[in-house]
Chain A
Amino acid sequence: MNEKASLKERVVKTVLTIFALSSLLFLFLIFIFILIEGSPLFLKVGLKNIIFGFKWAPTKGSFGIFPMIISSFLVTFGALIIGAPLGLSCAIYLSEYSGKRLKMILKPALELLAGIPSVVYGFLGVIYIVPLVRNYLGGSGFSLISTSIILGIMILPTIISISFDSIMSVPKTYREGSYAMGATKWQTIYKIVVPSARSGILASFILGMGRAIGETMAVIMIAGNALKIPMSLTDPLRTLTGNIALELAYATGDHRLGLFSTGIVLLVIIMALNYIANFGIKRRSQ
């Protein structure tokens, strides 16, 4: 009986190990696949002409994605400007001020916010945000600012949940020490709690950026997708992800390869962001 049980244990362990490693395999395969498809064009056209090229006309032999890289970062920072203060305030409120009952409502609501499909955000953007921007700020409404607002809302759950965890993990003794020195609650929060949770909060911002830069569906619907670098808040723009999704349907030959090289650039940016975020989290735990 005992032997049978241990055999079962071992089988379960092996099966679980295989499944766990398979996720690593998927990541590896995706990476290899994109690299194989995308790198020939880098060799053919040249890294510089792709990354720093201003002209994207893949059917006519120009593969410059520099405006899209800039646009991707612009919307990402825009999203951060809107999402970071909102998210951080919400996390501070949740951990320091809110009562148990309110927390029980707010937390699941936030999880729900994370679960809403991006096409729904895009739809709401087209129906409400775009006309608002068009009527009050001018331009077509399909713009940098509309996209930033929608992405800012979309990254809220990421920012709130990670900031909340890192604020909660600040030891209670820190707060008690601060109160003992006669500090008020707000003084304690901004002098003691937030600085102690700083690296976790930064990590939440960076992961939020990763989410914003990778978002596709909502962005295609509200960004307007023009190829030029936006010069004002009301100008349309095209992001890296948008470029791939927009043109994939008809792309053949070099055009298709061009979209894969866009994918490589995107992958590198997201990996860098994730690496920076992990670095932040590690520093906190030390």
Chain B
Amino acid sequence: MVKKIGIFLIIFSVIFVCSCANKEKKHSGKKHTITIAGSTSVMPFTEKLAEFFMIQNPKFIIDVQGGGSTAGIQACLNNTVDLGMSSRKLKEGERLNEIIICYDGISIVVHPDNPINGLTLEQVRAIFSAKIKNWKELGWKDRRIDAITREEGSGTRGSFEDLVMHGEEIDDSIMVQDSNGSVKEIVATDPYAIGYISLGLVDKRVKAMPIDGVIPTVSSIKTGAYKIMRPFLLLSNGDPDDHVREFIEFILSKQGQEILRKEGLIGSYE
């Protein structure tokens, strides 16, 4: 028994030493570190881009952190990060270089069996502020609307509040889910549900509602006809240095944009 434990200990220590040695090796070469922080909506895509970039350029270390758009903008203004990420437009006084890496549409989704073929922005706002509570008021059957929103602090909720609610509060009686995926799951199974998710995640299981007569598609977002969309921004304070620029060029290159397109976002190159 003691022998067995001894052998295990030896194996573990060997693995441990090896992994440490590996790390040492990695750090010993000359590395350029780029720190990025900000919006949690942009973060997963930046991480993905950084992963690809670091495979191609092993001398770079890209450190991507969350914190939210506002925190990212502040950090960038204070020069604590090389790049900030934001999923909202800059306000006046936030003087930073902005690089639009792509656009993301937010679609209002309902169950495929829902016969209503279009809502106005005002109606959507009224549903989420609980002024319209019944499908009857929208010309369907007498049944409560099961509206679903995202949790407080989520970037998608933040954009939805800016673009749709225009300062009105989302009512407390609205159900809350903590990811695009679970909102979609409920809308796909509950015929009376309505929610909002990233355009990239819309498929046959849910119906994207035309808003003010415009169907949310890649092309209607590109032309600007569909209004519920937001830019994903990278921010730099002044001109970025050469290493940072190399990463930005990668994102805006065909390869980088292709990665974003696969994630369901709309490229900025067209």
Contacts and interface: CB of A to CB of B under 8 A. Distances in A.
A226 interface: yes
Contacts of B173: 226-228, 235
Contacts of B68: 250, 252
B172 A228 contact: yes
Given A246-B176, A250-B40, A140 B153 contact: no
A251 B178 CA distance: 12
B189 A226 contact: no
Given A142-B186, A252-B67, A247 B152 contact: yes
A224 B175 contact: yes
Given A140-B146, A140-B190, A142-B186, A250 B174 contact: no
Interface residues of B, number: 27
Interface string B174-200: 111110001001100110110000000
Contacts of A252: 67-68, 71, 153
A233 to B, nearest CB: 14
Q: Which of A130, A228, A246 has its CB near the most chain B CB atoms (within 10 A)?
A: A246
A98 B175 CA distance: 45
Contact of B154 (A126, A220, A250): A250
Contacts of A131: 189
A57 B152 contact: yes
B113 interface: no
Interface string B35-76: 000001000000000000000000000000011100100000
A225 B71 contact: no
Interface string A98-141: 00000000000000000000000000001000110010001111
Contacts of B193: 140
B246 interface: no
**Prevailing SS type, chain A contact patch:** mixed
Given A141-B190, A220-B178, A250 B172 contact: no
A131 B192 CA distance: 12
A249 interface: yes
Given A140-B146, A141-B190, A250-B68, A226 B174 contact: yes
B176 A255 contact: no
B151 interface: yes
B267 interface: no
A58 interface: yes
Interface string B145-159: 010000111110000
B261 interface: no
B176 A226 contact: yes
A67 B144 CA distance: 22
B152 A59 contact: yes
B175 A226 contact: yes
Contacts of A224: 175-176
A137 to B, nearest CB: 12
B144 A142 contact: no
A96 to B, nearest CB: 44
Nearest to A229: B172
Contacts of B185: 126
Contact of B151 (A140, A141, A247): A247
29 contacts: A55-B172, A57-B152, A57-B169, A58-B153, A126-B189, A140-B146, A140-B190, A140-B192, A140-B193, A141-B190, A142-B175, A225-B177, A226-B172, A226-B173, A227-B173, A228-B172, A246-B176, A247-B153, A247-B178, A249-B40, A249-B153, A249-B178, A250-B66, A250-B68, A250-B152, A250-B154, A252-B67, A252-B68, A252-B153
Interface of B: 40, 66-68, 71, 144, 146, 151-155, 169, 172-178, 182, 185-186, 189-190, 192-193
